[in-house]
């Protein structure tokens, strides 16, 4: 509230903002990545524009450097466009490795399907040799017994323990920012890799079920999508 006397401010409550940090965020109003300032406000009673009394905190906000709009701090939870693209790229890459490790590592068709998915997601310079090298490293670490469809002791979710952890680490932060169709698309990319060399192996189904759980898809939706993918001509 402000009172005027002959064009002069007599008293009122003003908010003084102090910048505490900055960075880049996705601005909801601009609809793109922008620089922001993290600012904390203090309400002060002013007399003739002179601050005289502290009237409490106005809280901390995120202020866009372009549109100047102020948002609550949870605006920083939304990843920037570049960060989102990197998260999606890593998620597709991890899903491809999980599916190949579960049964298609020796199939040229499956590896080619994985390469296409990974390149489309952003790893444009990924080569088959690089993919084979990663699969060999996984197998040496804790993958599958040579010539067997059985996972090594300690493996869970149809793939190695390490890769199961990687699935949750790659998909967990991304999932809240994906629409249901986006989550389904990632699962279907994995399904196409598994089906590139023939019907699902049991271990591939287990790995894809793990992908569905990491994407927070209901089990019945995961099963429906996998069956639909299997009926779709390649």
pLDDT in tens, 57-106: 778 999 999 999 999 999 999 999 999 999 999 999 999 999 998 888 88
CB 88 within 8 A of CB 121: yes
> For residue 52, is it left (φ>0), alpha (ψ between -120 and 50) or beta?
alpha
Taking residues 193-209, what's their average pLDDT? 94
- Alpha-carbon distance of 219 to 214, in angstroms, equals 11
Asked which of 14-28, 49-63, 101-115, 187-201 is least confident by mean pLDDT, the reply is 49-63
User: Over the chain, what is the mean pLDDT?
Assistant: 84
Query: What pTM value is reported for the model?
Result: 0.75
pLDDT of residue 14: 73
Alpha carbon of residue 24 to chain centroid: 17
The two structure tokens encoding residue 63: 């202020």
Of 192, 193, 184, nearest in space to 211 by CA: 184
| Residue 234 reports pLDDT greater than 90 | no
| Residue 187 reports pLDDT greater than 80 | yes
Strands 70-71 and 8-27: unpaired
- Alpha-carbon distance of 129 to 97, in angstroms, equals 14
């Amino acid at each position: 509230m402000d009172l005027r006397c002959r064009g002069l401010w007599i008293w009122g409550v003003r908010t003084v903002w102090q910048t505490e940090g900055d960075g880049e965020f996705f601005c909801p109003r601009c609809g793109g990545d922008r620089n922001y300032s993290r600012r904390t406000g203090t309400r002060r009673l002013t007399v003739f524009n002179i601050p005289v009394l502290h009237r409490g905190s106005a809280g901390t906000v995120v202020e866009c450097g372009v549109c100047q709009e102020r948002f609550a701090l949870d605006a920083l939870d939304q990843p920037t466009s570049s960060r989102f693209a990197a998260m999606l790229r890593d998620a597709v890459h991890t899903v491809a490795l999980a599916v190949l490790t579960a049964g298609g590592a020796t199939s040229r068709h499956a590896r080619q399907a994985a390469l296409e998915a990974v390149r489309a997601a952003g790893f444009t310079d990924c080569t088959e040799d690089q993919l084979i090298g990663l699969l060999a490293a996984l197998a040496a670490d804790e993958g599958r017994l040579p010539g067997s469809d059985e996972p090594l002791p300690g493996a869970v979710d149809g793939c190695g323990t390490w890769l199961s952890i990687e699935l949750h680490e790659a998909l967990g932060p991304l999932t809240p920012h994906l629409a249901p169709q986006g989550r389904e698309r990632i699962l279907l990319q994995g399904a196409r890799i598994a089906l590139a060399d023939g019907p699902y192996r049991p271990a591939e189904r287990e790995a894809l079920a793990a992908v569905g759980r990491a994407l927070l898809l209901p089990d019945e939706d995961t099963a429906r999508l996998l069956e639909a993918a299997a009926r779709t001509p390649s």
